[in-house]
Structure 1
Amino acid sequence: MSQTLTPPGQQNEAADAAAPSPLSNGLKQRHLSMIALGGVIGAGLFVGSGAGIAAAGPSIVLAYAASGLLVMFVMRMLGEMSAANPASGSFSVHAERAIGPWAGFTAGWMFWTLLCVGVAIEAIGAAQIMVGWFPGTPSWMWVLVFMAVFCGSNLAAVSHFGEFEFWFAALKIGAIALFLTLGTLAVLGLLPGTDSPGASNLLHDGGFLPNGVEGLLVGLLASVVAYGGLETVTIAAAESDDPVRGVAKAVRTTMWRIAIVYVGSMLVIVTLVPWNAESTAKAPYAAALDSLGIPGAAQIMNVVILIALLSAMNANIYGSSRMAYSLVSRGQGPKALGKVAGRVPRRAVLASSGFGFVTVLLSYWYPDTLFAWLLNMVGGVILVVWGFIAVSQFVLRRRLEREAPEKLVVKMWGFPYLTWVALAGVVAVLGLMVWDEDTRSQVLFTGGLTVALVIAGLVNQRRDSVRN
């Protein structure tokens, strides 16, 4: 009797489809919808956009539009794969199925590191805002409070995470909607007490492209970082009551969310206020509100930024714990982290939160050495992950078209041409990072992390093949 051997990725796919997940399905569609909507509004938008505006001037609108187009392609590819095969490991699982276990190992642990370092950065930023409001209080106390609250919420049922993110997202969406409404009325000259600036801020002080193509490219690099975190919705979808519908809906609304929230708000800011003003570089949204004569604009934005930081912190603890659990469940991490209690991977939550807290301590103890090294190391991680997503989608799309076309609920546009365009875009941005002196070290450190994890992944894959 003959026996057909199935490639490892397809074996895993069949096993995943057959075995029920020990995790909860406690996230409702309203949770997923708000996570998808709120996930695009982060502290990187409210704070990090200032550096991009200072570099690119009014052309920051083009920079966010170009990087937003790349993100749309990436999310569409990820949505196609996640709707066909929902998994808590998201793109890590897809990379394993498409390329091999070493690829899933590399992409998964890279993203876990990125999220854990992100938890620390967000905790530090939130603590700084609290110290500003309560002078004399130690920042470490606020970090400890935030870490305890969100670690606790993630140790409880997944619905607690969903509720936190639901209300955080609602507040962020309300804030950005109000900002866009007031800003648009002011630009059109319809807001009482204000005069329309017309195109003066767009065309004066050096014109639309004041620092040339070089400034635009620096702004492009700054804008790419702001989009990180959108991938979490495909991780969360695996714990929803209808993951396929949830992913499909989230991905299909990505285009207008990016266009309105990112590109729209950048256009409002550079139209209302001079791009080269110090206040614009430091706090662009507060500067725009100040120009409208809104009292306490800086403090209003501090509240919004605090909410964005806490939301990202909560989401990153969740995403990192689920990624760690997925890796361990596939034999690609310490077995101790795989224990599930109350349908929550609590040890993975504790490990992810603990790594984030240690990173906070490093920022106090070794700010210019170990902490700076960590920041550099994760600087280009999101681009490497996007590269894995593009390659995985190309392989899995061909496989699905042959074996299970009915699973293609969400399809990548213009396949395979736009997949190649997205992959070329990722490579181009990495090339720009090497070209720019300020980001070159990040690419080198990220490259070192990638090589180390690829080697570890190949060793782990070899060990598993010998055992089997």
Structure 2
Amino acid sequence: MNQHSPSAQSARNDADLARFGYKQELKRSMSTADLVVYGLIFMVPIAPWAIFGSVYNASMGMVPLVYTIGLIAMIFTALSYAQMAKAFPLAGGVFSYVGRGIHPNLGFFAGWLMLLDYLLVPTLLYVIAAESMVGIFPGTERWMWGIIFVAINVVVNLTGVTSLKWMNRIFLVMELAFIVAFVVIAIIGLNGGQLPQAEWSTKPIWNSEYVTPALLAAALSIAVLSFLGFDGISTMAEESTGDSKAPGKAMVISLLVVACLFIGQTWLASMLAGDFTPVPDDAVGNFFFEQIRAVAGTGIVNAFFVVNVLAVGIANSMAAQAATSRLLYSMARDRQLPKYLGHINSRKVPSSAILTVGVLSAILVLFFAGKIGTMSSMVNFGALTSFALLHLTVMWFYLRRKQSKKWISHALLPAVGFVIIVYVLINAGAEAQIAGLIWLVVGTAIFIFNKATGRSVEIDVTVDELPE
């Protein structure tokens, strides 16, 4: 048998799971390319459209600089994910990495904190998409659109990972097509004279007139949050057809690709806007689209509005819901959450977890409809705290437990990543910190209950058998 054949790789994947005490339950049909597509959809290649105006004001017109800083900051986290995904190719992401790399108890809290992000992100996306639909169809109810988006995503996720994979491909092609259309429109605008202020310039990348340490620090906080989502690839590890390195490779590739798309789009949009002038508060939300309208007209810009809604309300939310359900499944499998969340249906997806995420999202949509600002401040605390624990895990697991001598990969890079994440956490808004602490208190209560009822996880892994 060819050791590189699909059947041989499948046998090795099954053996990996057996070594960790699990059997293969999820369907392995995600190639490395599919994982990259999934990561791109999760991060949304057209994400800068909706927030361009606010980032433009905060960065004094240097939006592409913000995303460049974000790429540099988050690449450290992606590399730490790659190191742990290689050692533990499991569906739980940071729950599995921290739990097996340091201690199961700390793994529970890492998974619980990440749940705060994974549960609230779909809700935030539904609320944003519903707001846009009300703009397209005035007089309709926000909650109605939110519930419609929830229902669509639940159905697609329940039909299996193959359906998710194909929907991701379709939406990615659609988003890339509109990015190409925007590039053409921007070039016409820069050369055609429709916008007197528009000109080719490098100022959006670096304008010494406005660059200060304080601005760069503020940009770092904005930028790091813009790339959240690539980590969702780690939750699909047990559905990957590749080897244990595939999820890590996909995370790094998707992060690099989406960063290039972010930087390119915002550079063109910033040049269309001309020299920096603060955008009025009532125009911030549509600032990106107004550049398109000025060059291509209302009909074209409406098409961009619709694509933005579909990308956020369906594509991105669908990916987020898939990641959340896999994390719930993994924690339930290890007896840290109710057993029913670990149920796998005939299509080999965690159906109970998917339905639970859908119900929770619907309830949260009803509560948070029209409250985008409040939601935005709450969604990031959990992910950033989990990232910090991830960096510590790389250092503890490889340096202490495996006695690694790869000081750059296992000491320097995760240490830098840890410092960056902690800095962003310290400078997070008060609402985010309060919401995170409340969530942590709830998690502590669940942890104590699990201990009292004998639900502790016993992990028996021979460290010498794990890859370095």
Q: Is TM > 0.5 for Structure 1 vs Structure 2? A: yes
- Residue 85 of structure 2 contacts residue 247 of structure 2 at CA under 8 Å; is this kept in 1? yes
Q: 1:164 to 1:209 in 2, by over 3 A?
A: farther
Alignment equivalent of 1:441, drawn from 426, 431, 439: 431
Residue 296 (structure 1) aligns with: 299
Deviation at 1:291, TM superposition (A): 4.7
Whole-Å separation in 2 of the counterparts to 1:118 and 1:277: 27
Classify the secondary structure of the residue corresponding to 2:60: helix
Q: Which amino acid in structure 1 is aligned with residue 68 of structure 2?
A: A
Q: Which amino acid in structure 1 is aligned with residue 361 of structure 2?
A: G
- Residue 272 of structure 1 contacts residue 291 of structure 1 at CA under 8 Å; is this kept in 2? no
Whole-Å separation in 2 of the counterparts to 1:377 and 1:412: 35
Q: 1:29 to 1:216 in 2, by over 3 A?
A: closer
Q: Which amino acid in structure 2 is aligned with residue 71 of structure 1?
A: M
Unaligned 5+ runs, structure 2:
1-15, 459-468
Classify the secondary structure of the residue corresponding to 1:238: helix
Superposed counterparts of 1:371-410, under 5 Å = 376-398=377-399, 401=402
Alignment equivalent of 2:414, drawn from 419, 429, 436: 419
Whole-Å separation in 1 of the counterparts to 2:333 and 2:389: 20
Q: 1:43 to 1:452 in 2, by over 3 A?
A: farther
Q: 1:138 to 1:130 in 2, by over 3 A?
A: same
Whole-Å separation in 2 of the counterparts to 1:253 and 1:384: 23
- Residue 85 of structure 2 contacts residue 234 of structure 2 at CA under 8 Å; is this kept in 1? yes
Residue 453 (structure 1) aligns with: 443
Whole-Å separation in 2 of the counterparts to 1:63 and 1:304: 24
Classify the secondary structure of the residue corresponding to 1:145: helix
Q: TM-score, normalized by length of structure 1?
A: 0.82
Residue 326 (structure 1) aligns with: 330
Residue 110 (structure 2) aligns with: 107
Q: Could you report, residue by residue, the CA deviation over 1:52-105 in whole angstroms, capped at 9, with x for unpaired residues?
A: 211221333333222221211111110221133211111210010122222222
Q: 1:241 to 1:15 in 2, by over 3 A?
A: closer
Whole-Å separation in 1 of the counterparts to 2:205 and 2:74: 28
Classify the secondary structure of the residue corresponding to 1:296: helix
Whole-Å separation in 2 of the counterparts to 1:300 and 1:413: 47
Deviation at 1:235, TM superposition (A): 1.5
Deviation at 1:124, TM superposition (A): 2.3
- Residue 94 of structure 1 contacts residue 392 of structure 1 at CA under 8 Å; is this kept in 2? yes
Deviation at 1:220, TM superposition (A): 3.0
- Residue 32 of structure 1 contacts residue 237 of structure 1 at CA under 8 Å; is this kept in 2? no
- Residue 41 of structure 1 contacts residue 261 of structure 1 at CA under 8 Å; is this kept in 2? no
Q: Choose 31-40 or 385-394, whichever is displaced more.
A: 31-40
Deviation at 1:379, TM superposition (A): 3.8
Q: Is structure 2 residue 355 aligned with structure 1 residue 350?
A: yes
- Residue 49 of structure 1 contacts residue 222 of structure 1 at CA under 8 Å; is this kept in 2? no
Superposed counterparts of 1:232-381, under 5 Å = 232-244=232-244, 246-254=246-254, 256-274=256-274, 275=276, 276-278=278-280, 281-293=284-296, 295-309=298-312, 310-342=314-346, 343-364=348-369, 376-381=377-382
Q: Choose 273-282 or 161-170, whichever is displaced more.
A: 273-282
Whole-Å separation in 2 of the counterparts to 1:149 and 1:421: 40
Paired residue total: 437
Whole-Å separation in 2 of the counterparts to 1:255 and 1:361: 33
Deviation at 1:313, TM superposition (A): 1.0
Q: Could you report, residue by residue, the CA deviation over 1:152-202 in whole angstroms, capped at 9, with x for unpaired residues?
A: 111112111111112112222232244345546765x4x697786144975
Q: Could you report, residue by residue, the CA deviation over 1:192-230 in whole angstroms, capped at 9, with x for unpaired residues?
A: 9778614497599xx655485444443432222221111
Residue 425 (structure 2) aligns with: 430
Two-structure CA RMSD over aligned residues (Å): 3.4
Deviation at 1:422, TM superposition (A): 0.7
Q: 1:460 to 1:376 in 2, by over 3 A?
A: farther
Q: Which amino acid in structure 2 is aligned with residue 432 of structure 1?
A: N
Alignment equivalent of 2:77, drawn from 74, 79, 85: 74
Q: 1:182 to 1:250 in 2, by over 3 A?
A: farther
Aligned-residue sequence identity (percent) comes to 19
Q: 1:374 to 1:457 in 2, by over 3 A?
A: farther
Classify the secondary structure of the residue corresponding to 2:345: coil
Unaligned 5+ runs, structure 1:
1-12, 406-410, 434-438
- Residue 17 of structure 2 contacts residue 23 of structure 2 at CA under 8 Å; is this kept in 1? no
Q: 1:379 to 1:38 in 2, by over 3 A?
A: closer
Superposed counterparts of 1:156-175, under 5 Å = 156-175=159-178
Deviation at 1:256, TM superposition (A): 3.3
Q: Could you report, residue by residue, the CA deviation over 1:268-289 in whole angstroms, capped at 9, with x for unpaired residues?
A: 2222204423487323431332
- Residue 96 of structure 1 contacts residue 103 of structure 1 at CA under 8 Å; is this kept in 2? yes
